[in-house]
Copies of this chain bind each other. A is one copy, B any other.
Amino acid sequence: MVTSSRFPVAVHILALLAMQKRSLSSTAIAASVNTNPVVIRRILGSLAQAGLVLTQLGSEGGATLARPAEQINLLEVQHATEKDDLFTLNTGQASLFCPCGKNIQPVLANVYAHMEAAVEEVLAHTTIAQVVQDIEVRINT
């Protein structure tokens, strides 16, 4: 399984914005994440579309949190950054002539739905504020 880094980078961005109270440019964020500013801008675009950050054009522009960090949970971040579901049943059509092949797809889809729900439960109960707090605990050691 190849997992994208968009979600972890997005959490990084949001945590950074929560810690620094001021607006940050994509270049400044890119320096912390250690990647290219365009990569950051792409992800910021998704986050802005989802209403998680505000971006300002022009000189002295940049991004800020659209809401307090306590009110942003990781499930929203996940949905904003990844268009597909966490688990997508990605098989070609099995044989319709086989009783098993003909019926296994919805059964597997059901299993995947349970997996998805379990992960979403975890993500929905974790906020950016908690992430920031965990980071700050580590800073003070």
Q: A residues near B, CB below 8 A?
A: 1-5, 8-9, 11-12, 15-16, 19, 31-35, 74, 82, 84, 86-95, 98-104, 106-108, 110-111, 114-115, 118-119, 121-123, 126, 131, 134-135, 138-139
Contact = CB atoms under 8 A, between A and B. Distances in A.
Most buried by B among A4, A35, A134: A134
A118 to B, nearest CB: 4
Contacts of A5: 90-91
Given A12-B100, A19-B99, A100-B16, A107 B134 contact: yes
A16 B94 CA distance: 12
A134 B110 contact: yes
> How many copies of this chain?
2
Chain A interface mostly: helix
Contacts of A100: 12, 15-16, 19, 32, 135
Contacts of A135: 99-100, 103-104, 107
Contacts of A11: 104, 108, 111
